[in-house]
Amino acid sequence: MAGIGFRLKKALEADTYTGVLKGYLFGSVISSGPWIFTIVCLAVIQLFASRFLTIEEADIFTTIITYTFAFSLLFFGCMDMVITRYLADKLFLKESRVIFTSFLSIWGVVLFFQTAVGVILYSFCDFPLSFRFASLILYIAMSSIWLVMIFLSATKNYVFIAQAFLVGAIISSLCAIEFSRNYGISGAMAGMALGQFTILALLIWRIYKEFGFYPFFSNEIFSYYQKFSSLMWIGFLYNGALWGDKILFWFLGPSLRLSGIFYNDELYGAALYLSYLTMIPALTIFLVKIETSFYIAFRAYYQAVQNKKGFQELLAIKEELVGSLRKSAQPLIVFQSGLSFCCIVFAPHILNFFKLRQELLAIFQLGILGVFLQVMVVMMGIIILYFNGIKKAIILNFVFFSTNVVLTLITLKLGFPFYGYGFLISSLISFCLAYILLNKQIEDFDYETFMYQPIVSPNIYKIQALEPLERAQLRENS
Amino acid sequence: MNDVCLILEGTYPYVAGGVSVCVYDLIRNLPHLNFSIIHLAASGDSVKELKYPIPNNIKEFHEIFLFDFNFSDEMTSQKIDPHLWDRVIEFHRCARRGDVSLFSEMYETFFNPRTKKVEIGDLLYRKEVWNILIQLYQEGGLKTDFSDFFWNFRFIYFPIFKILSSPIPKARLYHSMCTGYAGLYAVAAKLLYQKPYLLTEHGIYTEERKIDISEAQWIPTLISESDVKAQKNPGFFKQWWISTFQFLGSLSYAHADHISTIYDGNRIKQIQGGADPEKISIISNGIEVERFSHVTEDQCPKKKNPQCFRIGFIGRVVPIKDVKTFLRSIKIVQEHVSNIEVLIMGPTEEDEEYYEECVLLTELLGLDTVIEFLGRVSSENYYSTLDVLVLTSISEGQPLVVLEAGACGVPVVATEVGANRELLYGRSHEDQVLGRSGILTSLASPHETAEAIIKILKDTELKKYLGEVAKKRVSRFYQQEDILDQYHLMYRKYL
């Protein structure tokens, strides 16, 4: 009797686990780099350009830069993780040839979309046309830089990125100061935009050097928006959470309306931006740690799965992984809490140093505390994503976002003495939730790694694992 | 509602073979009954073209592709009683001991659309299922290979989930031609609609799967190559597959209302597999004797030399037929009988490597002038020209060629495997008194085979006697109409 001749050849050999191991190094960490340079650059400009700019002009200048950050980052949030995922897949499949073309196509979309947003944004104000034009250019440049950063972070070429930003920041500062001498605020903005364009040009050149240009059209990157819409939401909610309270304060708080939709929030915003600077050491340490001990331990787990280790061994490796996480997190938390504590104690002096009013003191101190918690939320969120907990990351960022918005609205109602508590409580809630979710995620890690493997037939399974590779080989040959 | 729902696994109408012919004849000859057919195949792309027509009384035709896992992701919104999962563990423990009694409970809880407490998605993704998987892994005593365990778990249980979650058409009677997945489906049908289930096995499914799996390359063995070769230990994963099929076998045997097979040797294997001897009957293969008496002279391929003896071998050129022993025996025959001509009839493309080896051996033995590989031919035209038909198979069920040769009065030399003893020496007393219609030989023994061939060729009287007995035996006991009547009677009893 013929019976049913099933063959599951290759089924047990194919490699799907490493496919899961996407380098989840997200822009949230990466973008903190350029962010720092830009803030420093802003401070320098403010310090020196004040000689040539009136106080009002300096306010307008910082407000525009702040808006540029907020809006470009909000949209960046929608792209960040989806594109990271796309790049991880392409690099895993060794299809790096499509990357530059993909970059160009998505850049085209970003240029078109952000130009439209920028035009709308700046048509609702009565700043001088030349200033508005320079601001639009800056907005487009910065939006593009975030995009480029996603592509470059895949190459892990941090030194070059840092150099490019340093060069850009210097050019921005020098040109802004120099141009403001003769052209006032428009000149300052043009100088700033010029520096940012330098960064953009350098980074694009780098992508080109890294991946090369192969002229064929691929719209595959857009299909990732359908496949991984959850990642888009995570990014959007995360950036929404980061900016939600600030934006609410522009429109509903005691901010000064400059023109159109542009408000200068000298109180809440100013205090919080300053407190965000305390994030830098923690993020830097985290980035370094994640690249070393944790990432290696994490990869060891998947290697153990592929090397057909026993379940006990997998559990042991997971324990080790958690251990290494704890070990690297402990000094970070100790250091960061010490730093935050010092900043809270010396807050009056810090405000003095940055020439900010002492009435910001309470908000600034609450901000430092909130930022401390937020750093932890961000880091735990990234680890949850490392462990493939996409659903949990959505929940976390949604709670982060909605509590921030709701509590900020409440504190706005309650009045000045309560400013900053919304942000702090939202950070605290998110912190607790992140801790619970992370523990749950680690506990469920083996379960999810295996049980969420796509359910495919043995023969289809083989095709899925090989098809993109074969396509790549065809391209190599042609 | 159709009368009979036939559940077929990898046979009619897509695959040619003994079972397919039997199914086709059965349906064709019972035009007053309506059939629905459930065809099980590994995957959608393994099904190609129809090898047999579809008679009009087949009213429904459904296909299930076991390894196309197009499950829905639906999960129940209700709370699942944790006790249910404990029962699953208990079920597996019983199954390991060969106890199939908890299966009905599992079916009611997890699959029966009327009583189930969960959806299919729950079985695919739930943490509780993962916990069961871990427990089975630990109870299996494995220290390594967790990922292999995981994938084997999926590939063993998902086809079973697939079968049990497939819709079942209503019928008055469910009939499967083997145990395994088809049997499982029939058992589910019986549990769902409380209708009778008939199991008519030709070969013993569990045994066939066992051979397949022992040879399968894709299942990791975990043990040294030498142990595997010596067949001492199939290794954890192969054992897992084998015992799964053994379980499915016992399950079918336990639930079938009536069991049949084609000869006594298989009946004994069914009993060993857990079948109740009371339920088993024997329904042999049958052939249309008239078809062979209608072959005319000019249809028969002529001998090269009318004086020479013609020895036939009919079967696929594959190791299980042990063609090499046949070739070696011919060498010996040639030393005693000079004027012989040997025809090997049967497809050669199934195992090209083995075929090449056979051709090479023919040349080495210097038999290339005597032996001819004809490939696939319509063998019925050749029977009447044969002086003797030889079978050297290592394993057989109830080979049709012996019946066909018998219908044409050709004596047979065959190894003592499968039903060959019954076919040549008779089964019942009534059958045995007819006499012998051929000579049985030991496995892989060129000398015995050669001796038997020589005996028949040199003794014209014996040859004639054997041929006559063969004709009588086939027309008495293996007429197709009689066999179909037996199926019909069985149906009548349960419809």
Six-digit token string for B106 = 């599992």
**CA distances to A74, A161, A165, A171 from A205, in Å:** 25, 12, 14, 18
Asked if A312 has any chain B CB less than 8 Å from its own CB, the reply is: yes
In chain B the domains, ranked by start, together with CATH numbers, are 1-286+479-495 (3.40.50.2000), 289-478 (3.40.50.2000)
Find tokens 């002529």 and name the residue: B302
Pairwise pLDDT comparison (A89 vs B448), residue with the higher score: B448
CB contact under 8 A, B45 and A458: no
Q: Are residues A309 and B158, on separate chains, in Cβ contact within 8 Å?
A: no
| Separation of CA A88 from chain center | 16
Cross-chain Cβ contact A450/B18 below 8 Å: no
- Cβ of A450 within 8 Å of Cβ of B130? The answer is yes
Cα–Cα dist A288/A332, whole Å: 11
Query: CB-side exposure of A405: number of CA atoms within 13 Å?
Result: 12
Q: Rounded to a whole number, what is the distance in Å from the CA of B127 to chain A's nearest CA?
A: 7
In this prediction, residue B439 carries a pLDDT of 96
B167 vs A186: CA distance, rounded Å: 73
Most A-contacting residue of B63, B125, B143, B146 (CB-CB within 10 A), to test interface: B146
Neighbours of A262 (CB within 10 A): 22
Cβ contacts below 8 Å, chain A against chain B, sum to 119
Higher-pLDDT residue of A162 and A374 is A374
Residues of B (376-405) whose Cβ lies below 8 Å from A: 397
Sign of the C-alpha dihedral, residues A205, A206, A212, A218?
negative
Instruction: Kindly report the backbone phi and psi dihedral angles of residue A173, in degrees, each rounded to the nearest multiple of 5, phi listed first.
Output: -65, -50
Rounded CA-CA distance B214/B218 in Å is 10
Report the distance separating Cα A279 and Cα A238, nearest Å: 16
- Name A248's Cβ contacts closer than 8 Å, sequence gap at least 6: A405, A408, A409, A412
- Taking all residues of chain A, what is their mean pLDDT, rounded to a whole number? 79
A60: confidence class by pLDDT, cuts 50, 70, 90: confident
Strands (E), B11-158: 35-41, 58-65
| Residue pLDDT, tens place only, A239-265 | 888 888 888 888 887 877 877 778 887
Is the CB of residue B434 less than 8 Å from the CB of residue B476? yes
Chain B closest CA to A456's CA: distance in Å? 6
Residues of B in contact with A450 (CB under 8 A): 130, 147, 150
Say if CB B437 and CB B402 are below 8 A apart: no
Inform me whether the C-beta atom of residue A3 falls under 8 Å from chain B C-beta atoms: yes
In tens, the pLDDT along B39-75 reads: 998 877 655 778 888 899 999 899 898 888 888 888 8
Percent of chain A surpassing pLDDT 90: 19
What is each CA distance from A124 to A86, A262, A424, B132, in whole angstroms?
37, 9, 33, 63
CB–CB contact B40 A4 (8 Å) = yes
Half-sphere CA count of B34, side-chain side, radius 13 A: 10
How close is the nearest chain B Cα to the Cα of A121, in Å?
44
Residue B250 in tokens? 């016992």
Q: Are strands B412-415 and B438-441 parallel, antiparallel or unpaired?
A: parallel
Per-residue pLDDT tens for A142-185?
899 888 888 887 666 767 887 888 888 889 888 888 888 888 88
Please tell me which residue of chain B has the smallest CA distance to A3. B10
DSSP B173-207: EEEESSSHHHHHHHHHHHHHH---EEEE-SS-HHH
Q: What is the pLDDT of residues B322-348, one digit of tens each?
A: 999 999 999 999 999 989 999 999 888
Q: Which of A307-316, B145-154, B220-229 has the lowest mean pLDDT?
A: B220-229
Interface test with B, best of A313, A445, A457 (most B CBs within 10 A): A457
Q: Do the beta carbons of residue B66 and residue A4 sit within 8 Å?
A: yes
Amino acid at A46: Q
Pairing of strands B280-282, B309-314: unpaired
- B152: confidence class by pLDDT, cuts 50, 70, 90: confident
pLDDT at A11: 35
Read off the pLDDT of each residue in B478-483 and give the average, rounded to a whole number. Answer: 90
Instruction: Please name the residues between 344 and 373 in chain B that touch chain A, using a CB distance below 8 Å.
Output: none
Tokens, residue A366: 């609450």
Contact call for residues A369 and A340 (beta carbons, < 8 A): yes
Euclidean distance between CA atoms B182 and B178, whole angstroms: 6
State pLDDT tens for residues B185-228. Answer: 999 999 999 999 999 998 899 988 887 787 766 666 655 445 44
DSSP for residue B110 = I
**Could you tell me the maximum CA-CA distance found in chain B, to the nearest angstrom?**
84
When scoring B131, B145, B153, B154 by the number of chain A Cβ atoms within 10 A, the one with the most, hence best to mutate, is B154
Cα B223 to Cα B234: distance, rounded to the nearest angstrom:
8
ipTM surpassing 0.90: no
pLDDT at B103 over 90: yes
Nearest Cα neighbor of B268 from B340, B319, B204 is: B204
Q: What is the pLDDT of residue A458?
A: 61
The interface residues of chain B toward chain A in range 128-167, judged by CB-CB distance below 8 A, are 129-130, 134, 137-138, 142-152, 154-155, 158
- CA separation for the pair A83, A99 (Å, rounded): 11
Confidence check: pLDDT of A475 > 90: no
**% of chain A beyond a pLDDT of 70:** 82
CA A350 from chain centre, in angstroms, equals 27
Q: Residue for token digits 């992370």?
A: A438
Sign of the C-alpha dihedral, residues A293, A298, A301, A303? Answer: negative
Each residue's pLDDT tens digit, B359-404: 999 999 999 999 999 988 888 888 988 999 999 998 888 888 999 9
Contacts of B154 in chain A (CB under 8 A): 455
Q: What is the pLDDT of residue A309?
A: 83
Per-residue model confidence as pLDDT tens digits over A185-206: 888 889 889 998 999 999 999 8
Q: Is the pLDDT of residue A474 over 50?
A: no
User: pLDDT higher for A89 or B112?
Assistant: B112
- In chain A, domain spans: 1-227, 249-451
Mean per-residue pLDDT, A403-424 = 91
pLDDT at A136 (0 to 100): 92
CA A299 to chain B, closest CA, distance in angstroms equals 16
Answer yes or no: is pLDDT of A13 > 70.
Answer: no
Query: What pLDDT score was predicted for residue B228?
Result: 47
**Does A454 reach chain B within 8 Å, measured CB to CB?**
no
Q: Are A123 and A115 in contact (CB under 8 A)?
A: no
* Cα A381 to Cα A396: distance, rounded to the nearest angstrom: 8
Q: pLDDT at position A20, please?
A: 36
Average pLDDT over residues A218-222: 77
**Between residues A429 and A41, which one has the greater pLDDT?**
A429
Nearest CA to B399 out of B285, B269, B313 is that of B285
Average pLDDT over residues A28-38: 56
- Sign of the alpha-carbon torsion through A55, A58, A62, A64: positive
Give me the residue label for tokens 């985290």: A286
Interface contact B10-A4, CB threshold 8 A: yes
